Amino acid sequence: MTKKSAIEEIQALRGVAFLGVALQHTLGAFIHRPDLTRGDAVAYAFLFTLAKLAVPAFVFITGMVVLYNYYDQLDYPRFLWRRIQEILIPYLAWTVFYSFYAGPPPESAVSWARDLARNLLTGDGSYHLWFVVMIFQFYLLYPIFRWGFRHIGERAARSSRGLVALMSLLGIGYLVLTWLSYSVIPNVGEPLALSKVWQLFSDYRDRTFLFWFFYFILGGAAGLAVSRWRQWTTQALWWNGALFAVLFLWVTRQLVAGITEGAEGVIMDVNVATSLRPSVALYSVSVIVLAYGLATRWRYSGDPLSRVMHLLGRHSYGLYLAHAFTLDLTARAIRPYVHNLTPLPAMTITFIGCVAGALTLTLLLGRMPRGEWLVGSKARRKPSAKAASTSGTANF
């Protein structure tokens, strides 16, 4: 298979998405502090909304890169084996690590192996590993998605009106799905709620590909028409920027409305801004389009911030796997020194330490023999100045 030039702005988008993940989890460590004030909680709400692009952006990137590279030709066994090496083997290694780091010693080898097997299947080895379980389903099911793009997408994309109609239909369907996830599924009554199968589906729906499919398809459509996608996202910067501002305030208002004060202090419920909610889904699409347009404008700037984003993007998978560990280490290390600080400055210091620590650890592990088994692929294709000017098909 002929290799294509890398889509350069993808690395910056990956870097931003990772920072969103790290920020969300850092905020999660601080929202339960007893000295949290309402003002701190409101500030956290704004930051949390900004960080909500993370998982949808990663799913979008996966769809874009996979369709861009494997639409015309697909050797599925080789494709899947590469993802097992680059994704599942590091996931296995870190699941084993977190099983020892986060919990008490196993009672027996048998119980440990049983718990490990369950954690590998569910992503419960650590609070962030669920994402790997979810994203790998798209690789497993890629031939089905590819068939859909070839037999449905290409037919609809023969006209701009047909493509808009198809994406609108999928978008409406996805909004209905998020409404069901947020408003219906948690409130299902007996006897369905007592069914073990239903409980399993309800508890783990957030790591089921079905509840993230729209971002993958949106990314795939972008990957099949990279130059047109770049042009559209940059042209949409102004009007989509205004839409982003409205949706940002809407989601933030929902978060602020969930802040309560009582005997236990200020309590902030971040679950009201779950990605599986219609308002957050609309916001996520807008912020992906906005972030991509900005990344396209920014991709050849070469300034220090751009280089940092590209560095984070190149190592985003290793950073994702490691950051929960470095976040905990950072919080433990600085706790004796920040007790006099208000929550917001303490959170900022912890966030910086988490990211810097994860990057340092990922780079060090990547230099080890077979380091890719711990942090994913070492090498990525070098982008060119004319990278991805065309895609594998002219129909999208």
Q: Sign of torsion, CA 186 190 196 197? A: negative
**Structure tokens given for 273:** 């801004």
Does pLDDT of 183 surpass 90? yes
Average pLDDT over residues 121-144: 96
Report how far apart the first and last C-alpha atoms of the chain are (Å, whole number).
21
Per-residue pLDDT reduced to its tens digit, 337-370: 877 777 888 899 999 999 999 999 999 999 998 8
For residue 111, name the pLDDT band (cuts at 50, 70, 90).
Answer: confident
- DSSP summary character for residue 276: S
pLDDT at 37: 87
Residue ranges per structural domain of the chain: 9-375
Average pLDDT over residues 192-207: 86
Helix then strand count (H, E) for the chain reads 19, 2
pLDDT at 387: 45
Give dist(CA 337, CA 331) in Å, integer: 10
Average pLDDT over residues 149-175: 91
Residue 233 vs residues 164, 206, 218, 229, 301: alpha-carbon distances, Å: 15, 28, 13, 6, 18
Task: Detail the DSSP E strand segments found in the chain.
Answer: 259-262, 265-268
Give dist(CA 363, CA 366) in Å, integer: 5
Does pLDDT of 269 surpass 60? yes
pLDDT at 382: 47
For residue 104, name the pLDDT band (cuts at 50, 70, 90).
Answer: confident
pLDDT at 142: 98
Number of other CB atoms surrounding residue 258 within 10 Å: 16
Residue 188 vs residues 22, 225, 275, 368: alpha-carbon distances, Å: 33, 42, 20, 50
| Among 174-183, 194-203, 266-275, 366-375, the least confident range | 194-203
Does pLDDT of 31 surpass 90? no
Closest CA to 351 of 130, 123, 100, 47: 47
- DSSP summary character for residue 395: -
pLDDT at 381: 47
Torsion of CA 291, 296, 299, 301, to 10 degrees: -100
The mean predicted confidence, pLDDT, of the chain is 90
Give dist(CA 293, CA 316) in Å, integer: 20
For residue 231, name the pLDDT band (cuts at 50, 70, 90).
Answer: very high
pLDDT at 389: 45
**Structure tokens given for 340:** 């006099």
Percent of the chain with pLDDT over 70: 92
